[in-house]
Amino acid sequence: MTDATEMTLEEREATLGGIGCARKRKEDIRFIQGKGNYVDDIKLPGQVFGDFVRSPYAHARVKSIDTAAAKAVPGVLAVLTADDLKPLNLHWMPTLAGDTQAVLADEKVHFQNQEVAFVIGEDRYAVSDGIQAVEVDYEDLPVLVDPKQALAEDAPVLREDVEDKDNVGQGTRRHPNHIFTWDVGDKDAADQAFSGAAVTIKEEIFYQRVHPCPLEPCGCVASMDPVRGELTLYGTFQAPHVVRTVVSLIAGLPEHKIRVIAPDIGGGFGNKVGAYPGYVCATVGTIVLGRPVKWVEGRIDNLSTTAFARDYHMTGELAADSNGRIAAIRVHVLADHGAFNAHAQPSKWPAGLFSIVTGSYDIPSAHIAVDGVYTNKAPGGVAYRCSFRVTEASYLIERMVDVLAQKVGLDKAEIRLRNFVTPEQFPYTSCLDWEYDSGDYPTALNKVLEAVDYKGLLEEQAEKRKRGELMGIGLATFTEIVGAGPSRNCDILGIGMFDSCEIRIHPTGSAIARLGTKSQGQGHETTYAQILATELGIPSDDITVEEGDTDTAPYGLGTYGSRSTPVAGAAAAQAARKIKAKAQKIAAHMLEVGEKDLEWEVDRFKVKGLPEKAATMKEIAFAAYQNLPEGLEPGLEAVNYYDPPNFTYPFGAYLCVVDVDRLTGEVKVRRFYALDDCGTRINPMVIEGQVHGGLTEAFAIAMGQELTFDETGNIQGASFMDYFLPTAVETPVWETDFTVTPSPHHPIGAKGVGESPNVGGVSAFSNAVVDAFAHLGVSHMPMPHTPWRVWKQCQALGIGE
């Protein structure tokens, strides 16, 4: 019954294009031909456009808005203000963090470029003319851009709307500009360890405000069918199902009447997780006008108003013995959340997974406190290519381990080896209660040290230092925590953070799989098909992967926090296994043997002991529609909703070598060696691409990205003139490597990799820059390490001239 081909086992495996093969990305065929379909490519009949009047002030009272002249502009159809949204109760919207956010400024503006009115018109030109014609009378108010000043006793109250509330969703407040305090760990134990410690260090470490800055900005097309009463919302959504639920909850439309479609997305990096006023206003617009309304923001809008990342003012302390063995860590964070608490974290975690701050090290006790604060800046606080607040945590511990090494006079590789969680300790429970699934940190670090000839680099550095040259070697041995997450402790708006996969096998043996995640460039159409190919014995080329349409895809929580492979990838494997179980029944019927007499081999079930008697998955698929055992229903489909038992913990060891020009402050990255362990590797080429992208963004963050504000709250550098997006010219050459430590609880042992390089990369760059000055007594330098900042350090040391 087998097919006539004479392929060997290896050839059959190769034909599948399954797990471990470096097949080319299926989605690239359309992308490189310019045939992608992004939100701004969507053109519906009768479509109109909308855009915002934005506030030039960071803090002001809106005394009046005159829309008459704007409404008289030819082509302008409507102008919405907060007063127009009030009757619908849509002038404010709930945030993912329990707070509310103004959709259109209601009596006050709280940050520069905040949305004040929404102009809808026949084309973008009419809208733009209309925006200019709206007259807003502002009365400016004192501005707060420094979170420390925001907590001063006499500080102006920013959020008058919640002035009387002692809780805005994430804990008790102690000041009108205070949002929450999040306190974890054993303070007494940590304090005790500090009081008896031989060595302690303390460092103020600021992780600047940055922005994920996807190449495609945010946008949507809202289209109400007034006859059917159905709303279709196309948008740049990393989590389309969550958007559908949110729209249903806030707009009061039944969820089955809402269809959310995320078409191709040009990068997300966390920026496209949340809900923005544009989505609400376009939706109101289409309901009011009965015509589709498109809103697509510009670059300045994207950088200055949609979700930023970091802005964490951290104070870190380590206590250690004289051998550099860490006894305790204490951290305090002043977290600048901007004008509304709209960061995207699982509901129960006001600082995300920041308590992964013990990193790769076996630290007996820890205490962390995070205070969230309002300022006159745009809201947000997303994970920019990292799991929730993990980059902040990892940057802090990796910097502090270096500071400690310096203090006790230990080599930075040696201090890491002395403090690592050892391979024998896995599964390892940290003192802050995370259960690390698997890891082998010393092997990873030693492999890197050998590959780069670490000893040789240290000798070269010593020589250069004698000559007055500045060379830095940076290490980062990070642990990520990804795959949010187990529903017992992870939810978004009360919905557990599971994910899903539905598979249909067609009679001729090809298949379609739909998942609850949404690729923004990660290559899901390629890699999910590989998981399914290996699990099902169907070539990955014969499997279509679809995501992003809530009418067809099973409910899922979307793609961010490196959760697609750990959660939806697991759902794919589990759904495939359900199909395989049914296939085994059909095969037994076809081959007239008992189910237990069969064994699986690559793409077929074989009768044990009779290798020539077998049924391929292709044959079984056809039989599923015409030749079934009695009592078995036809078809070959399955769906799985996967609630992960635990997070996964990818890790890596990175080494960076830099040379510093002390006269210009320019830092040249001479070498970057990145070893990643993401467990089972699904597609090495896709992994390498992810690592290259993550390292490039880490390089951008460490070396140049920042959004700053002047004292009146004017945002600085919010365009590509200043905001640092490195080109191929600035980007260093990446050397990549790997070890494989599978996750014991994941169906295929995979852990997720997209964000690891950003988590580990930032600290590796920063550590390298600081190390270039370490012999001169420097223990920390603020990011980003732009030429002028580095030169200021040179100048302070008297070596800048």
Residues making contact with another protein (CB under 8 A): 124-125, 127-129, 132, 298-300, 663-666, 704, 716-717, 721-722, 724-727, 729-730, 786-788, 791-792, 800-801
> Is the CB of 154 or the CB of 801 nearer to another protein?
801
Give the sign of the dihedral formed by CA 184, CA 189, CA 195, CA 197: negative
Please enumerate in sequence order all residues whose Cβ is within 8 A of that of 151, keeping only pairs 6 or more positions apart, or say none. Answer: 175, 177, 178, 371, 373
How many helices (H) and strands (E) would you count in the chain?
20, 34
Nearest distance from residue 137's CB to another protein, in Å? 21
Nearest distance from residue 668's CB to another protein, in Å? 13
Quote helix, strand, coil % in the chain, to nearest 5.
30, 25, 40
Q: Which of 244, 259, 291, 385 is an active site residue?
A: 385
> Is the CB of 69 or the CB of 451 nearer to another protein?
69
Q: Give me 283's structure tokens.
A: 């939706």
Alpha carbon 254 to chain centroid, angstroms:
30
> Is the CB of 6 or the CB of 801 nearer to another protein?
801
Q: What are phi and psi of 308, to 5 degrees?
A: -90, -175
Give the whole-angstrom CA distance, residue 322 versus residue 330: 18
| Cβ pair 158, 109 in contact under 8 A | no
Q: Look up 385 and say whether it is catalytic.
A: yes
| Cβ pair 356, 572 in contact under 8 A | no
Q: Look up 520 and say whether it is catalytic.
A: no
Nearest distance from residue 664's CB to another protein, in Å? 6
Task: Could you list the beta-strand ranges (E) of 55-114.
Answer: 60-66, 76-80, 92-94, 100-102, 108-109
Give the whole-angstrom CA distance, residue 66 versus residue 72: 12
Q: Look up 170 and say whether it is catalytic.
A: no
Nearest distance from residue 730's CB to another protein, in Å? 5
Nearest distance from residue 727's CB to another protein, in Å? 5
Q: Which of 238, 520, 705, 793 is an active site residue?
A: 238
Q: Give me 592's structure tokens.
A: 């007239």
Q: What 3-state DSSP class applies to 626?
A: coil
Nearest distance from residue 132's CB to another protein, in Å? 7
Alpha carbon 122 to chain centroid, angstroms:
36
> Is the CB of 180 or the CB of 724 nearer to another protein?
724
HSE of 595 in the Cβ direction (CA atoms, 13 Å)?
8
C-alpha distances in Å from residue 258, one per residue of 303, 332, 694:
29, 43, 35
HSE of 255 in the Cβ direction (CA atoms, 13 Å)?
10
Q: What 3-state DSSP class applies to 402?
A: helix
> Is the CB of 311 or the CB of 402 nearer to another protein?
311
Give the whole-angstrom CA distance, residue 370 versus residue 337: 12
| Cβ pair 538, 617 in contact under 8 A | yes
Q: Which of 584, 559, 764 is nearest to 658 (CA)?
A: 764
> Is the CB of 423 or the CB of 800 nearer to another protein?
800
Euclidean distance between the first and the last CA atom of the chain, given in angstroms as a whole number: 82
* Sheet of 511-515, strand order: 543-547, 511-515, 499-505, 637-642
Nearest distance from residue 420's CB to another protein, in Å? 37
| Cβ pair 231, 283 in contact under 8 A | yes
Nearest distance from residue 786's CB to another protein, in Å? 7
Nearest distance from residue 692's CB to another protein, in Å? 18
Q: Look up 461 and say whether it is catalytic.
A: no
Q: Which of 619, 755, 793, 794 is an active site residue?
A: 755
Pairing outcome for strands 326-338 and 365-374: parallel
| Cβ pair 137, 62 in contact under 8 A | yes
Q: Give me 672's structure tokens.
A: 């970057």
Q: Give me 378's structure tokens.
A: 């745009």
> Is the CB of 225 or the CB of 666 nearer to another protein?
666
Altogether, the residues listed in the chain come to a count of 801
Q: In 581-592, which positions are buried (b, 16+ CB within 10 angstroms) versus exposed (e)?
A: ebbbbbbbbbbe
Q: In 493-531, which positions are buried (b, 16+ CB within 10 angstroms) versus exposed (e)?
A: eeebbbbbbbbbbbeebbbebbbbbbbbbbbbbbbbbbb
Q: Which helix (H) or strand (E) holds 127?
A: helix 124-133
Q: Which of 452, 443, 474, 413 is nearest to 651 (CA)?
A: 443
Give the whole-angstrom CA distance, residue 454 versus residue 458: 6
Q: What 3-state DSSP class applies to 686?
A: helix
Burial of 87 (0-12, 13-18, 19+ CB in 10 A): exposed
Give the whole-angstrom CA distance, residue 319 versus residue 232: 56
Q: Which of 213, 386, 490, 501 is an active site residue?
A: 386
| Cβ pair 779, 770 in contact under 8 A | yes
Q: In which residue are the tokens 């290798």 written?
A: 611
> Is the CB of 552 or the CB of 716 nearer to another protein?
716
What residues are labeled active site?
238, 385-386, 755
